[in-house]
C-alpha cells in the first residue's frame, strides 16, 4: 500500500487569490509587510515544502518495497537452508533443531479430555434412568424437562 501524496487546498486557494490580487496591481502593498512579493514568496515556500513532503513519501514507499523484497529473499533462503539440513541430517536430528527446526518427536499433540460428568448425576438418588429421563430422587421419573 503506497502513501497518498498530499494536496493543499490552502495553497490552491492562495494561488487563486494571488491571481486576483495581481489583477488589482502587480506591486500591491497593503502596509504592515502585506506586499504581493511577500505573499508570492510564502506561497512558493509552502509549495516547495509540499513537494519535498510528497517526494519523501515516495522515498518511503520505495524503501518499504525494497525491505519487503529483502525479507522475502531472507525467508526463502532460510527455508532452503533448513531443507538442506533436513536432507543431510534428518528431521529428528539435533542439527535440525540447532538450525531452528522443530523435530517431529517434539510435537505436542492435544490431549483428549474425558467427557464432563455432572456431579448431580453421581448422587445415588439422581441417577439417570435407562431411557435418559431424569428422576426426582425417589426413583420416580420427573415430568418436567
Q: Has residue 142 been placed in a domain?
A: no
pLDDT of residue 136: 66
As for how many domains the chain has, the answer is 1
Rounded to whole angstroms, how far apart are CA atoms 57 and 5? Answer: 7
Mean pLDDT of the chain: 84
Rounded to whole angstroms, how far apart are CA atoms 39 and 123? Answer: 92
Instruction: Classify residue 50 as exposed, middle or buried by CB count within 10 Å of its CB (0-12, 13-18, 19+).
Output: middle
36-89 vs 9-24: helix axis angle to the nearest 10?
160
Domain of residue 97 covers 9-106
Quick: pLDDT tens for 2-53.
788 889 999 999 999 999 998 888 888 888 989 899 999 999 999 999 999 9
Q: Has residue 138 been placed in a domain?
A: no
Q: Has residue 143 been placed in a domain?
A: no
Q: Looking at the predicted structure, is the pLDDT value of residue 118 above 70?
A: no
Rounded to whole angstroms, how far apart are CA atoms 29 and 21? Answer: 10
Q: Looking at the predicted structure, is the pLDDT value of residue 111 above 90?
A: no
Q: Has residue 136 been placed in a domain?
A: no
Amino acid at each position: 500500500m503506497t502513501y497518498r501524496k498530499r494536496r493543499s487546498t490552502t495553497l490552491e486557494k492562495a494561488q487563486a487569490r494571488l491571481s486576483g490580487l495581481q489583477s488589482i496591481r502587480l506591486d500591491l502593498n497593503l502596509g504592515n509587510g502585506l506586499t504581493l512579493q511577500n505573499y508570492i514568496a510564502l506561497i512558493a515556500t509552502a509549495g516547495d515544502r509540499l513537494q519535498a513532503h510528497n517526494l519523501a513519501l515516495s522515498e518511503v514507499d520505495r524503501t518499504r518495497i525494497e525491505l519487503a523484497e529483502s525479507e522475502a529473499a531472507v525467508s526463502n533462503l532460510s527455508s532452503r537452508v533448513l531443507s538442506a539440513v533436513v536432507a543431510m541430517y534428518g528431521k529428528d536430528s539435533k542439527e535440525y533443531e540447532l538450525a531452528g527446526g522443530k523435530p517431529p518427536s517434539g510435537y505436542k499433540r492435544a490431549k483428549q479430555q474425558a467427557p464432563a460428568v455432572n456431579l448431580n448425576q453421581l448422587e445415588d438418588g439422581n441417577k439417570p434412568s435407562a431411557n435418559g429421563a431424569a428422576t426426582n430422587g425417589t426413583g420416580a421419573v420427573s415430568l418436567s424437562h
